[in-house]
Structure 1
């Protein structure tokens, strides 16, 4: 299989590398040639309920599937959870993968594959190709991923920020007035994620109507038919994201603001409300900046993962002995 170089990927490194994208339901794997060409791809389910060792085993198996001849010289992984790329540890995680918090991701995967491993949070890795596409050593980026949760990434002057314990960019846990008093999955209250994520919007619709809904798409369908409470739930979540991103834009001065994930794909009702709230927050030098969709599709995380091998600390085999 040869699909040609993917933009924003690890081309030009002179090395064959593996990129892995770990989510709560599936693992995507790809083998990249020295010129960035995709040589092989595989997908397998994540054994999310079986514990961290089983997940590491599955990641190693996915790497072996795309590189049976062991041509790769390094491996990059984009992983769910809060990941500290310097230590290679998962410092915090939800229960979507059982026992994931505290996992030695870098060392554990290097031990299983025999390869040097670079690792990072999946949203930061996904944002990497967006930053590369901006070009220039001083490019700055604000990236938001709105889905089952709310994640983000921040790059300033050409450098992705990681912060203490890998926490930089977790915008879903910024305070939001629209979420005041609502409990967050992190144990605090009033955070953006509980009003702006897909489940957060659905839960807000339930609070407005007293009617349970199974998923965000149900709310979106009712909004499209003119249901006022559905419209309110969606626009409230969208405006909450817009306000937070506008404030962050004022603080960081990004060249580009990208909003991705599944929630924005429900349609213009969401996107228009987000953009209006974002614009209302901006200081004069930033007026004209508007949130845009990602440049890259489903390949972004796996190619961003492979590119990590050129920019982050490599964790080498032998550390667990």
Structure 2
């Protein structure tokens, strides 16, 4: 599927939610720890312009909001957009527009009034959500019918996720729904997690988690996950064990959640699955082993959308989520 447009049901400005009405021009923003990406979407959902800039992650939340506003001005110098959506790192509550929790990848990000702060700086109504849920939005829209259910995992530097049931993305209290990386995992027992607890999936299944597992097994340090994958391809037993342990941990968690939620589609994205079939095969086998009979035949699949998924999903938030308007902070 093309990565430059959305399916009709997910196009910005074409939904029936709390957004911008029909046939409008909107902006999608993707905020990560290192980069801000912006795209201007036309009335038919096609990309009219793009812009990227570094995230001033060490300079505090005000500087990040200023950089986001500058990205908006750069991608839409004529001011044609009527609203913007942002997919942001951290735990985001789309109803309040607040970042309720965050790691230190962006300094001082927790507690930021993302929706109102960005609306004040741009003069536009703003819809906001966690980056993984926003990325999962187009996947949900692409399902047949109006009542599809989706389980989405993003495995990279961390482990994130999104859950949609009967056509509706779940957000939960404080925007916490979908944070799969902080489910307990037996493979991670006793290992400290970045959230302050121990034994969570992210510790064993993320890119850094698999790398650390290899270092524990082999008694040697490595620079990155790709090095572990290369050693596994050459037959290094410790590298194979670290990769398959992380993959199987994800598969078991997703299989258990599939039994609880009954998804029509299970999507696994992020950078870690791209290391090769050793990872994907171990994840799929562990997933299948957990499934109850009615779900047998369900298999994890790769995302339909490519590098544009986050900005596509962010723009679509303007049709489905509450809008935060300029002036709320005054």
Moved more, 276-285 or 34-43: 34-43
Structure 1 residue ranges without an equivalent (≥5): none
Maintained 8 Å contact 2:150/2:263 = yes
Deviation at 1:135, TM superposition (A): 3.1
Deviation at 1:272, TM superposition (A): 0.1
Maintained 8 Å contact 1:9/1:306 = no
Query: Which digits, 9 at most, give the CA deviation of each residue in 1:117-139, with x for residues without a partner?
Result: 00000000000000000031210
Q: CA separation in 1, counterparts of 2:3 and 2:237?
A: 46
In the alignment, what sits opposite 1:159? 168
Deviation at 1:11, TM superposition (A): 11
User: Aligned Cα RMSD in Å?
Assistant: 2.2
Q: CA separation in 2, counterparts of 1:13 and 1:172?
A: 37
Q: CA separation in 1, counterparts of 2:81 and 2:196?
A: 41
Deviation at 1:10, TM superposition (A): 10
Give the counterpart of 2:317 among 305, 308, 311: 308
Q: CA separation in 2, counterparts of 1:85 and 1:144?
A: 20
Q: CA separation in 2, counterparts of 1:316 and 1:228?
A: 55
Maintained 8 Å contact 2:20/2:318 = no
**TM-score for the superposition, normalised by structure 2:** 0.95
Q: CA separation in 1, counterparts of 2:248 and 2:2?
A: 42
Matched, 1:253 2:240: no
Maintained 8 Å contact 2:87/2:131 = yes
Deviation at 1:313, TM superposition (A): 0.4
Deviation at 1:5, TM superposition (A): 3.5
Query: Which digits, 9 at most, give the CA deviation of each residue in 1:27-47, with x for residues without a partner?
Result: 000000111121100110000
Structure 2 residue ranges without an equivalent (≥5): 8-16
Deviation at 1:12, TM superposition (A): 8.8
Q: 1:274 to 1:11 in 2, by over 3 A?
A: farther
Q: 1:140 to 1:4 in 2, by over 3 A?
A: closer
Greater relative contact order structure (CA < 8 Å, 6+ sep):
2
Q: 1:304 to 1:3 in 2, by over 3 A?
A: closer
Query: Which digits, 9 at most, give the CA deviation of each residue in 1:162-218, with x for residues without a partner?
Result: 000000000000000000000000000000000000000000001101101111001
Aligned residues: 321
Query: Which digits, 9 at most, give the CA deviation of each residue in 1:250-285, with x for residues without a partner?
Result: 000000000000000000000000000000000000
**TM-score for the superposition, normalised by structure 1:** 0.97
Query: Which digits, 9 at most, give the CA deviation of each residue in 1:216-254, with x for residues without a partner?
Result: 001000000000000000000000000000000000000
Deviation at 1:107, TM superposition (A): 0.3
Deviation at 1:6, TM superposition (A): 3.7
Q: 1:107 to 1:195 in 2, by over 3 A?
A: same
Maintained 8 Å contact 2:60/2:107 = yes
Give the counterpart of 1:94 among 103, 106, 114: 103
Query: Which digits, 9 at most, give the CA deviation of each residue in 1:292-321, with x for residues without a partner?
Result: 000000000001000000000000000111
Where do residues 145-294 of structure 1 align in structure 2 (5 Å cutoff)? 145-294=154-303
Q: CA separation in 1, counterparts of 2:62 and 2:221?
A: 37
Query: Which digits, 9 at most, give the CA deviation of each residue in 1:50-91, with x for residues without a partner?
Result: 000000000000011011010110000000000000000000
Q: 1:3 to 1:21 in 2, by over 3 A?
A: closer
Q: 1:176 to 1:269 in 2, by over 3 A?
A: same
